Chain A
């Protein structure tokens, strides 16, 4: 813990925040082009190559919009809500490991010798990983409530109430659907989970070890039901179609952000996309091996780069980058599924949404937990 280490950690936090914010325009572009592709249209394709510069034009437009604060609103809450919308997503995203750790040999700078350092590609590692992520992302409801109440508009308030009721309902299913996989892994830490998912599919069956050599040791093969329930619940948590009742255009104008425009509305968007990124990264970490390729450990990648003539630092850096790219590929795959589902399925009715949450996901997740607990005890042979 010297000055250099602390400085690097602080820079890392800023980079992770910028990573999340800067991914949003790309996602918006993918969403608009993707929706156009699904609906047999063109989408934005005039400004720049493939319409990519359209985003810059949009950003400029957002920044120059007139600031508007509705009369009779609570100005403080109204202005605070978009800022609060960013916080849960960023805090949760920073807790997820985005790549293999980067090791640095001792080096000299400013007349001192620094290091050696072992830098994690992760904002902070509390070791309880998933509990922290669930706790922080459950705070997202407040930004919607503040926006809804603060803007003194009944549509906003209805949207906010719907959003918070929906989030609380689905949080139970979300938490319970993860208990099964946590029982199997026996840890809360993301890094340990990723390490467990190395190698071929290995499990104890009838008291002897069984190995299926052609399948990776991923969580999805142990907990397919848990993975499906989790993915459905995170859709509801991030207020995406088919669960976007809080901003149902046909009924509520635009829900909790009816009164917002320009950059303030943009911040709600960033919050929503941040939730999607966190959800996708969690899916990849829990069920699809995180930043590892199947059958390839980070050590193997490191050895390969050392064999190619890289020095210690270089090989470590390349390993980190490769593992980061692997994770990002998986994350973008899930983000694409988010977009795909949004433009395929219609919106639920509110009672259907509550039925799905309380009468379908919750009992199934509970059954999954109980069965997994029995199986774990039987496998141990206790």
Chain B
């Protein structure tokens, strides 16, 4: 079942096209909707590869909750004709183009320096409850401290965002 080509290639194609659409769409709403498409197809890709629990969580959390918030917030603004050129001004243009170059160089470097070797394909556990249990043991016993620290980090981000938006000149300035 894992990596059936009839399922894999169409899904991979849609994921790649949708990811490109996120970058290339001039309207932010369409950009966000492409992100949704990419997330949903990624969820189904997990399912097709036998990672059932991950697939379900990907659909419920990323596609179903996080990106809904993105789309919702974007819809609150009036964003009709926002197709700007890549940058205005010589310095800004130079910085943006050169940072793109650095980024592309980093990726090609990373890919070309990677050693290729055939990964031993492990058959997915047919019992999905077992793979869920392995995941739970990893998250809540073996790596519980790393997991909890990540949770605290997210809490810090949430509090930080609220406090930043409330300082003088922020979007929710109380003064």
Contact = CB atoms under 8 A, between A and B. Distances in A.
B60 A135 contact: yes
Grouping DSSP codes into helix (H, G, I), strand (E, B) and loop, the B interface class, with mixed when no group exceeds half, is helix
B75 A135 contact: no
A138 interface: yes
13 contacts: A126-B128, A128-B55, A131-B53, A135-B55, A135-B56, A135-B63, A135-B64, A138-B64, A142-B71, A146-B33, A161-B72, A168-B65, A188-B132
Of A135, A165, A168, A188, chain B has the most CB atoms within 10 Å of the CB of: A135
Contacts, number: 87
A145 B56 contact: no
B129 A134 contact: no
A136 B40 CA distance: 9
A31 to B, nearest CB: 28
A165 B68 CA distance: 9
A171 B53 contact: no
Contact of B129 (A136, A167, A188): A188
Which A-B residue pairs are the 9 nearest by beta carbons? A138-B64, A135-B59, A131-B56, A127-B128, A135-B60, A128-B52, A135-B56, A132-B56, A141-B68
- Size band of the B side of the interface? 20 to 34
Most B C-beta atoms less than 10 A away, residue of A128, A141, A168:
A128
B58 A135 contact: yes
B52 A160 contact: no
Interface string A55-89: 00000000000000000000001000000000000
Given A77-B33, A141-B68, 7 more contacts: A126-B47, A131-B60, A132-B47, A135-B57, A135-B59, A138-B68, A139-B40
A242 to B, nearest CB: 23
B60 A161 contact: no
A127 B128 CA distance: 6
A138 B40 CA distance: 11
Contact of A139 (B47, B56, B64, B76): B64
Interface in B12-39: 29, 33, 36
Contacts of A141: 64, 68
Contacts of A77: 33
